[in-house]
Structure 1
């Protein structure tokens, strides 16, 4: 047993020493002979070339798509559903965002008008809630639910966010068979004083859905006009409303 081990060890050591000897002495010697001048390894040895396989555009796209899929999987967990029945009997549906792990949610004020009945879908449940405050000017509403240990997402730094940056939204859609999550993506088209404009078009009723950057940080809370154009209340306004500034 010991002899076999020593034999293997000796072969390994001799192999390493042989490789070093070949690299230091044999290859330079061969490189000096006329016969070997046209061999590729001699040309590379003389020029000290290192072969590098550059990243192609397809490689970058694949990496971005993998990052997007990962961010979407994380972001789904912090998106909530909002369903409202108004005094006139109208049913409003949309989405919102978990802000803190102890049950603070934020959504659009349009989705929770006063005097209505509200239902918040959070992690497969419909917990009890309290509407804490509304900001009608910025179209925001802060809600507290009776549920803890909730997942949360980070907030993007808008000062470092650039035009053309890739973003995506995650929203909830209420169907007869249950609640589904849908995703849409695009880029930031412009920064306005009171909102972030994207090039995303969305025909589903998912106003209040969060807008995320490619890292899964919250950029804003989406508003969708009648034509399906998506813009977002910026995260700075949200932070100030919540009291995180």
Structure 2
């Protein structure tokens, strides 16, 4: 009998608790959590279909996206006041060999960076931003399957584009789309490794096209005349990754963001349109560098009022002509409107600049121009863009092919100019004509205009002797140069020291 009473009491307590739970706010919340959205069968089918399509898109594109890690070694530096301290201790007749332990070069500092890239050819070509790999000593690529490979770099700094070449075959390659069809409002996906988080994909829309921006970077400010703006989240580490449309085609290369106080994404990201990249890729693969053609004009877009006044539908307005430039020699004038190049219509100034750049130097181009209501055709032989003539070697430190010893040091030498022979009162030596900024030689204090007369106590009588002596040096070996240097009207013999990279 007692057992039945206990069972009855227990059931009563449970029942009262259930009623109280249902009446309580917590009970109501629990009920709400169990509620489901009442989709119609058609709506549910649409959502499932959308999810499936997005997953298939990501599964298709993700294997073509890579994570790029770079290592940059800063040049070794001598300790401050090292020369004075050496001289001080030499006064006590302490041998240089014993002094070495106190005055060895400070170990090189290492900077590490990372970004993203997209495989564009199955034989190992990976597209990324130049600012991701600029100046890298080592480039490591991590693929979607977790495998790694070291890469070498081909650069186009003025376009902020670079290729990383890895020794791999049969890689999955992305499809390059047509960025001329991109319109605001279209859905896009940004792939990459933001903050080192590999295999990340975000979704958004194209916010705007044709953005012109000057964006500061770690190495230099860069001008981008034509960018796709998107609100798909792009953060540090996304640079070089692909911006993809709903067909899984690459329409842009994620490049930069406008960030808030936190430095993170605030919904304003930029990508270089892929059509601007295709010609660069072709030149880098075929020639190993990207050199632009040059016309020598300043251009502007036509306003609707200008089009109506000049009776043209499209084109680029010439606002400036450089004297003795290809344009000047061909008779192109400020005020002309260029409406065609090689038979292709010109939509705006950016399109014309890209066509001229891609045409390349030492080629002939035909331009159709409108001047004073008349249509003229002129032929122009393009030259090399001045920035490309003066640019340093574009392959960077992690370059394709072997560097010469002088290239590693960042030095170019020649014979002694006649006026400097008189100043130095010397006919022999290797005259320094150029030094790469941030090179080992520059960090060691070598200057343009120095005359190298000895290397590690071996006399140098000519540029060829110097090059041969440098070729015999080993990586990490200390280099001691005795140079003659003119300061105002005086000549000093100076010791320059650094290590062979």
TM-score (ref. length: structure 1)? 0.69
1:83 aligns with 2:96: no
Shift of 1:58: 6.3
Flag the 1:87–1:243 CA change in 2: closer, same or farther, 3 A.
same
Shift of 1:173: 5.3
| Conservation of the 8 A alpha-carbon contact between 1:67 and 1:215 | no
Flag the 1:188–1:226 CA change in 2: closer, same or farther, 3 A.
closer
Per the alignment, residue 152 of structure 2 pairs with 130
Select 1:222's aligned residue among 237, 254, 271.
254
Shift of 1:241: 0.9
Shift of 1:127: 1.9
Larger RCO (alpha carbons 8 Å, 6+ apart): 1
Deviations 1:43-74 (A, max 9, x none): xxxxxxxxxxx996665454333222111111
Select 1:231's aligned residue among 267, 270, 274.
270
Deviations 1:83-127 (A, max 9, x none): 012224221111001010111111111111225321111242222
1:191 aligns with 2:244: no
Flag the 1:136–1:236 CA change in 2: closer, same or farther, 3 A.
same
Structure 1: distance between partners of 2:41 and 2:179 = 29
| Greater C-alpha radius of gyration | 2
Query: 1:43-192 to 2 correspondence within 5 Å?
Result: 60-88=46-74, 89-122=110-143, 123-131=145-153, 133-172=154-193, 180-192=198-210
Structure 2: distance between partners of 1:63 and 1:217 = 20
| Structure 1 unaligned blocks of 5 or more | 1-53
1:208 aligns with 2:240: yes
In the alignment of these two chains, the number of paired residues is: 188
Of residues 73-82 and 56-65 in structure 1, the stretch that sits farther from structure 2 once superposed is 56-65
Deviations 1:9-63 (A, max 9, x none): xxxxxxxxxxxxxxxxxxxxxxxxxxxxxxxxxxxxxxxxxxxxx9966654543
1:241 aligns with 2:255: no
| Conservation of the 8 A alpha-carbon contact between 1:138 and 1:233 | no
Structure 2: distance between partners of 1:211 and 1:153 = 11
TM-score (ref. length: structure 2)? 0.35
Shift of 1:224: 2.8
**SS of 2:198's equivalent?**
strand
**SS of 1:128's equivalent?**
strand
